[in-house]
Amino acid sequence: MLTANAFAATSATEALSPTTIERRDVGPHDVLIEIKYCGICHSDIHYVRSEWGDAHYPVVPGHEIVGIVAEVGSDVTTHAVGDRVGVGCMVDSCGKCASCRKGEEQYCLEGSTLTYGSIDKDGRVTQGGYSTHVVVSGDFVVKIPEGIELDVAAPLLCAGITTYSPLRHWGAGPGKKVAVVGLGGLGHMAVKLAHAMDAEVTVLSQSLKKREDALRLGADHYSATGDPDTFEKLAGSFDLIVNTVSATIDLDAYLSLLAVDGTMVNVGAPAEPMSINVFPLLLGRRSFAGSAIGGIRETQEMLDFCAEHHLGAEVEVIPADKINEAYERVLASDVRYRFVIDVSTLG
Ligand code: NAP
Ligand code: ZN
Ligand code: ZN
């Protein structure tokens, strides 16, 4: 067992605080990672506040993990000590079901093991990346390509893959009009990635405050959803809408922005249900869909794509004692565009 310094939530209402956790011994298939940076995803906040159901406390959140391999198990051939690596939202899956065989471990029919808050094979609850070390099966570890700094790579492990996967699945590319709703951690990566795929990108943000940023990130157009004219002006415009909003929104208003045969894919995961009026779907053969992160193979593909296109996240690196403040700023949509914890500050 290795003792790691960490930051944990002990209840839905208390601030996160320093602690120590035990990591398992490195097994034959495992990799020990010395964590350098970990991004703060809005999902961490939903989870630790038990917005998605009761969390397992104490919990160390964090699933945008990057670091350096410190030790490998005897059967690991794909990673070596000193490698720059990453771990995203999953640390295991059944490996046998139809989804796993397709490399879509996120849709494992038995349920994948999430990086934190899941029951692991040894019966212990998994603990995430706000921590100095983690032990993970080598099959769930990806390589950070040369050319991407570790701090800007961290958010790619969740925000990057969660937006890359639906953009690829629904064919974002030349001639496609893509709208991104919400310019936060996921949204800003969606803009960068869709732009790099040569789609025509529109940002739909609550106000005009982020306009300059959006254009700099690669958006071709920008509209404020607080302005009711936006919905009239853009009716029937988009082939694909990627909704990254962490709260409920008026889906009917956004569905009417789709062109005929267009798809709105929800990656945002608000706690409360949202209702849909079917008429905007019927009148235009439109689709409403969802998408969860991406498989390990596709995560590596996304990282290689980012390296090729010189893409990383826009980050604000913070010490561990600023995590609680960062949570409040994320909740106030005041993040530009991902907080990343400098794990060396965990001591
Ligand atoms: P984030 O950084 O907080 O970004 C969310 C953005 O949504 C905000 O910046 C804001 O953008 C907009 N927004 C927030 N509240 C709003 C409201 N009440 N009405 C309208 N717009 C609002 O969060 P994130 O880390 O990108 O995560 C976004 C969501 O995706 C979360 O629910 C998270 O749990 C989920 N998620 C899902 C997956 C998946 O696999 N599907 C993976 C990761 C995260 P503007 O200021 O531009 O309006
Ligand atoms: Zn996430
Ligand atoms: Zn499976």
Ligand nearest to the CA of 186: 1
Ligand nearest to the CA of 104: 3
- pLDDT at position 214: 98
Measured from the Cβ of residue 82, the count of other Cβ atoms closer than 10 Å reads 9
Q: Are 58 and 50 in contact (CB under 8 A)?
A: no
- pLDDT at position 276: 96
Q: What is the DSSP letter of 295?
A: -
For the CA of 269, the nearest atom of ligand 1: 32
214 three-state secondary structure: helix
d(Cα 70, Cα 63) in Å, to the nearest integer? 19
Question: How, if at all, do strands 113-114 and 142-143 pair?
Answer: unpaired
pLDDT, tens digit, 9 for 90 and up, residues 124-150? 999 999 999 999 999 999 999 999 999
For the CA of 338, the nearest atom of ligand 1: 2
Q: Provide the residue count of the chain.
A: 347
Q: Which residue has the tokens 């010490």?
A: 319
Is the CB of residue 42 below 6 angstroms from any atom belonging to ligand 1? yes
86 φ/ψ angles, rounded to the nearest 5 degrees: -140, 155
312 alpha carbon to ligand 1 midpoint, in Å? Answer: 18
**pTM over the 0.95 mark:** yes
Q: Is the peptide bond prior to 57 cis by the omega test (within 30 degrees of 0)? A: no
**Structural tokens at position 116:** 């934190």
d(Cα 255, Cα 278) in Å, to the nearest integer? 10
**Using CA positions, which residue lies closest to atom 27 of ligand 1?**
42
Is the CB of residue 271 below 6 angstroms from any atom belonging to ligand 1? no
Cα→Cα distances 252→16, 286, 289, Å:
37, 11, 14
Q: Which residue has the tokens 């005897």?
A: 74
Cα→Cα distances 51→12, 44, 205, 247, Å:
9, 10, 24, 11
Ligand nearest to the CA of 332: 1
Terminal Cα distance for the chain, rounded: 18
Rg (CA), the chain: 20
Q: Are 84 and 142 in contact (CB under 8 A)?
A: no
d(Cα 5, Cα 18) in Å, to the nearest integer? 7
- Which percentage of the chain shows pLDDT scores above 90? 99
Q: Are 157 and 38 in contact (CB under 8 A)?
A: no
d(Cα 72, Cα 75) in Å, to the nearest integer? 8
pLDDT, tens digit, 9 for 90 and up, residues 145-191? 999 999 999 999 999 999 999 999 999 999 999 999 999 999 999 99
325 alpha carbon to ligand 2 midpoint, in Å? Answer: 18
Choose the residue to mutate in 42, 89, 158 for probing ligand 1, maximizing ligand atoms within 8 Å of C-beta: 42
pLDDT, tens digit, 9 for 90 and up, residues 222-247? 999 999 899 999 999 999 999 999 99
pLDDT, tens digit, 9 for 90 and up, residues 70-115? 999 999 999 999 999 999 999 999 999 999 999 999 999 999 999 9
347 pLDDT band, cuts 50/70/90, is confident
**Using CA positions, which residue lies closest to atom 1 of ligand 1?**
184
